[in-house]
Amino acid sequence: DSKRRVRNGWQAYSPALAQSRDDRLRMETQLRRAVDNGEFHLVYQPQVDMRKGSIVAAEALIRWKNHQLGEMRPDHFIGHAETTGDIVRIGRWVLSEACQQVAAWRDAGLGIVRVAVNVSYRQFLGDDLAGTVRGVLDEYRLPGAALELEFTERALIEDAPDTLRTFAELREMGVVLTIDDFGEGYSALNYLRRLPIHGMKLSQLFVEGVPRNHSDVAVCQAIAGIARSLGLGLVAEGVESEPQRRFLLELGVPVGQGFLFAPGLSADAFAHQLGAGLAHGTALRKAR
Ligand code: C2E
Ligand code: MG
Ligand code: MG
Ligand code: MG
């Protein structure tokens, strides 16, 4: 308990807490009730056309605010939720919340925007992911193309028996299917041939070092080459600087996401940016 600091009435979470068994149990107990208690919310990070500066999509990123544990980033609790299986319920909540939000933006005339949702490998196991997605799209009267699902490579190499069928069903619905953090994990290239995906996201691990670091440049070039020759889309993650943006555009990567453009925004702030872009034909980048 001495490791906790009280700030604004919230106790700041320290990663060290998760190391003790008691603390892990406490987190798991809180996690179990968090959906029902309304402790989660989403922020939306723009995916930007790096030439024009216009928003092409939003990635929904989960945040957890708990009265005992404080505010937590997903890297602190998603792993626990995967271990306990709570991720399945949390994942359904995220999907529903994100779809409700994108439907509201479309209804408000803010343009044909798409929302990208992160999916854990555990949501393949013991859940009918395609059925869940179909239900949510129906509920909010959304076309499949309004939704993008981001899978980590782990989801693909777990090789649950239904993976191929699930992907085929989702693609049939028009849902955009993307491999997240490409290059960070296994990069078992055989699934790129087997699974009907639309694209991948170039991990910020490599974007970080360009254009100065030679091996990062080489890896980015290689991944861009794979995407190009397989006819897959590529979105750069973690774009923080103007030289990175220029390098990626020269490499033929048109869409980027990162602090250069915007961090994760509240739904209202995101809608504001969308509206501003529509009104002025701009340019998050120019707006800075
Ligand atoms: P991700 O899907 O790769 O998301 C990108 C992460 O990079 C986000 O961290 C984002 O805030 C951060 N980021 C964006 N731009 C920049 C930048 O320019 N520089 C740097 N250094 N970082 C940047 P966040 O929100 O903490 O999420 C971490 C991870 O947690 C996500 O990585 C994703 O794997 C997972 N996650 C987030 N939301 C969900 C969710 O709803 N469900 C599941 N299963 N996982 C989620
Ligand atoms: Mg992601
Ligand atoms: Mg990512
Ligand atoms: Mg990541």
- Note the pTM of the prediction, 2 decimals: 0.91
Encoding tokens for residue 119? 């999916």
CA gap 252, 5 in Å, rounded: 46
> Do residues 245 and 235 make contact, with C-beta atoms less than 8 angstroms apart?
no
Alpha carbons 251 and 285: distance in angstroms, whole number? 19
Separation of CA 285 and ligand 2 centre (Å): 21
- Neighbouring residues of the ion ligand 3, judged by CB less than 5 Å: 180-181, 237
CA distance 46 to 270: 8
Ligand 1 first shell, C-beta below 6 A: 45, 61-62, 73-75, 78, 91, 94, 118, 120, 150, 180-181, 204, 237-240, 257-259, 264
The preferred substitution site among 73, 118, 204 for testing ligand 1, maximizing ligand atoms within 8 Å of CB, is 118
Mutation choice for ligand 1 from 61, 95, 122, CB with most ligand atoms inside 8 A: 61
- What pLDDT is stored for residue 278 in this prediction? 65
pLDDT of residue 188: 67
- Per-10-residue mean pLDDT of the chain, 288 residues long, equals 40 55 89 97 97 95 95 94 94 98 95 94 85 98 98 77 88 97 79 89 96 97 94 97 98 97 97 82 46
Supply 104's token pair: 């509201």
CA atoms of 115 and 223, how far apart (whole Å): 24
* Burial of 232 from C-beta contacts in 10 A (0-12 / 13-18 / 19+): middle
151 alpha carbon – ligand 1 mean position (Å): 12
pLDDT at residue number 2: 36
Instruction: Look at residue 18 in the predicted model and tell me its pLDDT.
Output: 47
pLDDT at 160: 65
> Which token pair is 152?
């980590």
In this structure, which amino acid lies at residue 217?
V
